[in-house]
Amino acid sequence: MKSSRLTSHDGAVSACALQRRSLDSQAGVLMTLFCLALGAQQVAIKAVASDIPPLAQVGWRSLIAAGLVLAFAYWRGVRFSDFRAGLGPGVLVGLGFAAEFGFVAWGLNYTLASHMSVFLYTAPVFAALGLHLWVPGEQLARRQWWGIGLAFAGMLIAMAPTTQQVDAWSVLLGDGLGLLAGLSWAATTLVLRRSSLSEAPPVQTLCYQLGVAAVVLLPLSAWLGYLDAITLTGPVVASMAFQTLVISCAALLLWFALMRRYWASQLGVFSFLSPVFGVLFGVMLLGEPLTLNFVAGGIAILMGILLVSGKGV
């Protein structure tokens, strides 16, 4: 009996693996759009941070988006019994999402936004390592590992600060919190691929993420006094609308849909483009300088993506 169960399980894993494929041009375009949205997200949060604290932004957008996605999930045929069946991994995915943005908001009190981008987007490296070790079919070839290394090195070059820091220990603390945010993101990816949520509808997974994040982050924001520090202005409404509809609904649904069709280890490396786009939006919208190290690092990132997206040994 035990042997037959193992055989059945292995067959299910193999069938699941066969459903996923390597990146193609369509996936590349969609992932680029996804990264564009994430890059714009950083500017949207920063632009109104003086009127609404970042942690409160994430809490409120998660609550509103959770309601919208839940209604969409019901319309797509996802019922209460489906949510109850995946509740365990769903809560873990939601806690990972909440931890990721909690660490980001906390870390930005101590370090630069450029540093936070670097350490947050170490997530694909941690995720690729975990997927390589624990998820059948997600093993990377030697050339793809070189691609990850090149992309990560390029990201460090592109996002390296050009100004001297005054409080090195404070910056180090913020960098450590950014690293924890990246680890939280990677852990969420691993839970998703190692659990029944791997084949669940994307709207179901997103409901878990947004719902748990709202339950955790809004009370935390209230306890820290952030909800009393909100000033409702036109830019705040516009930013929150963008974060809720584009980021928390459309972009995340796209991410989970792609995760069901393509190898997560290859998709993940595209997220290295997000901080690059964030810098570009910062230059265009906030007047931040464009440096030579960003140009050189961006080229290295693109070369790394080409290596990871291709096949080989």
Q: How many other C-beta atoms lie within 10 A of the C-beta of residue 142?
A: 9
- Token pair, residue 278, equals 């964030």
Enter the tokens of residue 169: 């220990």
Question: Which residues are bridge partners to 262 per DSSP?
Answer: 21
Question: How high is the pLDDT of residue 4?
Answer: 38
Q: Quick check: is 183 in a domain?
A: yes
Give dist(CA 39, CA 48) in Å, integer.
Answer: 16
15: in domain: no
Residue 219 confidence (pLDDT): 95
Asked if residue 6 is part of any domain, the answer here is no
Whether 17 is in a domain gets the answer no
- The contacts of residue 93 (CB under 8 Å, 6+ apart) are 188, 191, 192, 197, 205, 208, 209, 212
Amino acid, res. 11: G
CA–CA gap between residue 293 and residue 164 (Å, rounded): 16
Residue 70 maps to a domain: yes
- Scored b (16 or more CB within 10 A) or e, 152-164 reads bebbebbbeeeee
d(CA 306, CA 304): 5
- By residue range, what is the domain housing residue 197? 23-309
Please give the pLDDT value at position 106. 83
**Is 189 part of any domain?**
yes
**Model confidence, pTM:** 0.75
Q: What is the pLDDT of residue 9?
A: 40
Is residue 224 in some structural domain?
Answer: yes
Q: Closest Cα to residue 212, out of 106, 59, 75, 109?
A: 59
Under a CB-based contact definition with an 8 Å cutoff, are residues 262 and 20 in contact? yes
Q: How many domains does the chain have?
A: 1
Q: 63: which 2 tokens? A: 């609550």
Q: What is the pLDDT of residue 18?
A: 45
| pLDDT value of residue 13 | 41
pLDDT score at 162: 57
Backbone angles phi, psi at 262, to 5 degrees: -125, 165
Q: Is there a domain that residue 178 lies in? A: yes
Neighbours of 303 (CB within 10 A): 14
Residue 173 near residue 110, CB atoms below 8 Å: yes
Across the chain, which has 313 residues, the per-10-residue mean pLDDT values are 38 48 77 86 82 92 93 86 86 93 82 72 75 72 82 78 61 81 88 80 88 95 93 94 91 80 70 77 73 79 71 50
Q: What is the pLDDT at residue 212?
A: 95
